[in-house]
């Protein structure tokens, strides 16, 4: 249980990993109290990385944490690929590179063929072969609209090596059904967006794995602590602000916007993204109404 971050990666002007910026980001997140770091989530541009880059990013994250006293901070690796064979290979690579868990997107090149039975077959085969526990990543936006329902995810939850799910579909009803059916100790159901982080906790979820944590790790920690202390009214007051901030980040340009905000607000890295994604200039943020929404929350983050 806790709050995790699908971390962005930073590149230099030659489109290579900006190692100092990646390390600075990992350490700011760890110091912000995150339970774990997801490498190669959707915000980590996984589909634009080579196999060797994937392994390097995982190993760099694990080593940076270990070298700085954060041995207990988990590293999860996004291992989804279009074939079952390659997905399994990415799970093996993830373990060898230092990840403790894998997060698997549903194959989606041929969505019409991905019937519920075939989706279950795909994830079961991956879980059978993976040397580390796996989680189901449900994000219709990046899987050709495939949206796994609670029946499909519930069937997969019974597999001994499938230990959770990240719901970026945004369905609080689905989260509630799963969380009330399977104890978090055996199958953890995570909100995939900050806009329903506290609502997910109230519904029995295990926490969140959300993009906004890249910008506001301590704020998420504060909301989590308020909920644990039973201060639900205060937690929901903060949640309302997080919901506006989450929407603002989405409107600033996706991954490029997240990186631009980090560069502008926290002073490390440059907001380069892998083509064909589009970069966002930090200078452009000042006149953007959505960035103004974030400024109050960034001030709160820096005060905590």
Instruction: Write the DSSP assignment of 47-77 as a string of letters.
Output: GGS-HHHHHHHHHHHHHHHHHTT-TTSEEEE
User: Sorting pLDDT into bands at 50, 70 and 90, what band is 194?
Assistant: very high
- Cβ 147 vs Cβ 169: under 8 Å: yes
- Which residue, among 109, 90, 15, has the nearest Cα to 46 in the 3D structure? 90
Q: Is 166 an active-site residue?
A: yes
pLDDT grade for 152, boundaries at 50, 70 and 90: very high
pLDDT single digits (tens) 262-284: 999 999 999 999 999 999 999 99
pLDDT at 100: 98
Query: How confident is the model over 232-258, as a mean pLDDT?
Result: 96
Give the orientation angle of helix 116-129 with respect to helix 84-97, to 10 degrees: 40
The span from the CA of 269 to the CA of 92, in Å, is: 30
How far apart (Å, rounded) are the C-alpha atoms in residues 304 and 292? Answer: 20
- pLDDT value for 270: 95
Report whether 153 belongs to an annotated binding site: no
- Per DSSP bridges, beta strands 188-191 and 2-6 are unpaired
Catalytic residue among 3, 4, 11, 137: 137
CA distance 287 to 157: 46
> How far from 134 is each of 90, 131, 183, 235, CA to CA, in Å?
12, 9, 16, 30
Q: What is the DSSP string of 138-172?
A: E-GGGTTT----HHHHHHHHTSTTEEEEEETT--H
Of 82, 149, 140, 142, residue with least CA distance to 116: 149
pTM: predicted TM-score of the whole model, two decimal places: 0.96
Q: pLDDT value at position 121?
A: 98
Reported as a single tens digit per residue, the pLDDT across 71-103 is 999 999 999 999 999 999 999 999 999 999 999
Beta carbons of 280 and 260 less than 8 angstroms apart: yes
Strand, coil or helix: 128 = helix
Question: Domain boundaries in the chain?
Answer: 2-229
Nearest 10 degrees: CA dihedral of 198, 295, 213, 188? 10
pLDDT tens for each residue of 31-76? 999 999 999 998 999 999 999 999 999 999 999 999 999 999 999 9
Fold of the domain spanning 2-229: TIM Barrel (3.20.20)
Check 4, 11, 55, 166 and give the catalytic one.
166
- Note if the bond before 10 is cis, omega within 30 degrees: no
Helix residue ranges per DSSP H, 168-253: 172-181, 197-202, 217-228, 232-251
CB-based contact 45:296 (threshold 8 Å): no
* β-strand partners of 134: 102, 162
């Amino acid at each position: 249980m806790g709050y995790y971050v699908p971390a962005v990666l930073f590149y230099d002007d030659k489109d290579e990993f900006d190692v100092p910026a990646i390390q600075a980001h990992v350490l700011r997140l760890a110091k912000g109290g995150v339970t774990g770091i997801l490498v190669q989530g959707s915000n980590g541009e996984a589909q634009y990385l080579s196999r060797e880059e994937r392994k390097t990013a995982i190993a760099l994250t694990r080593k940076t944490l270990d070298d700085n006293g954060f041995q207990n901070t988990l590293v999860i690796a996004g291992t989804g690929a279009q074939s079952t064979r390659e997905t399994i290979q990415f799970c093996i690579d993830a373990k060898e590179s230092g990840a403790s868990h894998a997060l698997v997107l549903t194959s989606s090149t041929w969505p019409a063929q991905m019937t519920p039975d075939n989706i279950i077959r795909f994830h079961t085969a991956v879980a059978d072969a993976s040397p580390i526990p796996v989680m189901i990543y449900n994000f219709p936006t990046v899987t050709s609209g495939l949206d796994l329902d609670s029946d499909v995810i519930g069937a997969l939850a019974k597999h001994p090596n499938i230990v959770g799910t990240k719901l970026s579909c945004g369905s609080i009803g689905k989260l509630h059904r799963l969380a009330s059916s399977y104890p978090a100790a055996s199958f953890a159901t995570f909100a995939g967006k900050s806009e329903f982080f506290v609502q997910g906790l109230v519904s029995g979820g295990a926490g969140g794995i959300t993009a906004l944590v890249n910008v506001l790790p301590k704020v998420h920690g504060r909301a989590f602590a308020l909920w644990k202390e039973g201060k639900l009214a205060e937690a929901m007051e903060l949640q309302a602000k997080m919901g506006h901030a989450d929407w603002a980040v989405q409107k600033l340009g996706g991954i490029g916007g997240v990186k631009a905000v980090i560069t502008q607000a926290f002073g490390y890295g440059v907001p380069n993204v892998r083509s064909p994604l589009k970069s966002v200039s930090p200078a452009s943020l000042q006149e953007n109404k959505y960035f103004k929404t974030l400024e109050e929350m960034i001030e709160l983050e820096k005060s905590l």
